[in-house]
A and B are shown apart, each in its own frame.
Chain A
Amino acid sequence: MATHRMDIRGPDDLLESGVYQDRVGNQITAAAAPSVGSQLALLLADGGTDLGWYGEFLVPKNYVGTPKIVIRGILDGAPGASDTLGFGFRKRAVANNEAADGTFDAEQAVSSTIGSSGSAHSDEDEVELSITLTAGDYAVDDSVYYYLYIDATGTSYTGNFLLTGAYFEYADA
């Protein structure tokens, strides 16, 4: 059995108002180029309400279980000692010939203390967070329509989060 990570972002993602793509170097004090400053990131922040994007991905042919959503990015601003960063995921997973439209399933979320009383992340550090999903919700070849967002309830960090990756993690046979 192996664990895989599949990028779930794509060109048809719909960004909510206030979410936008930017050069990392426009947001952080980047090192001399070539550096991470030349990369493109999705700028997310807790704007008092959930804020993220809508997208879609296909469950891979070799999916067996242990699904997660993995979020990677860069902090823009030093977190306070007890500051938390949280993400939420809502989705509708449907097979061929199944009704696609419908309200997304309930939120599954992660919230982590990123300041010194938790993982001790600093300004401009790389961050990884994982949302554990329900294995039975997914089947091979399902279309997963989703909403992935900074969860205002689970976030007290006020800086920007420069998202560089979002992945569907799963185990194969």
Chain B
Amino acid sequence: MAISDSDYGALRQEVFRWGAGKEELKALPSLPSETQLRAVFEALESFWETNRATLKAQMDAAAGFTLPLQLARKIGVAWLRSKMGRGG
């Protein structure tokens, strides 16, 4: 799923920060090209758009009630941060 130039720019800037991906990018023999980097971002975008409704339904089913969307998002972000912080 295509992303806009501004979304690409914002993501690229985010990843090129120390602690957010820069160490790993600088350790590569060469940086990925814009085409490669954009394709990675678009793969994430596609996965998210394809699966987010299913994920929300599974979270609601697990909770036994319909989670407010903002709460579900924040739980998801907290989980992702925790998981990635553990090297997951």
Q: What number of A-B contacts does a CB cutoff of 8 Å give?
A: 68
Of A47, A78, A156, the residue contacting B8 (CB under 8 A) is A47
Number of interface residues of A (CB under 8 A): 25
Chain B residues numbered 3-53 whose CB sits less than 8 Å from any CB in chain A: 4-10, 12-13, 16, 18, 25-26, 28-35, 37-38
Partner of A80, one of B9, B12, B31: B31
Contacts of B30 in A (CB 8 A): 78-81, 83, 115
Cα–Cα, bound, A79→B35 (Å): 14
Decide if the interface of chain A is mainly helix, strand, loop or mixed: loop
A46–B34 contact, CB under 8 A?
A: yes
**A157 on the B face (CB < 8 A):** yes
Closest CB in chain A relative to B13 CB, distance in Å: 6
Q: Note all chain B residues with C-beta closer than 8 A to A78.
A: 26, 28-31
Q: Shortest Cβ distance from B3 into chain A, in angstroms?
A: 9
User: Least Cβ distance of A37 to chain B in Å?
Assistant: 13
Contact A77 B26 (CB under 8 A): yes
Interface, chain B (partner A; CB < 8 A): 4-10, 12-13, 16, 18, 25-26, 28-35, 37-38
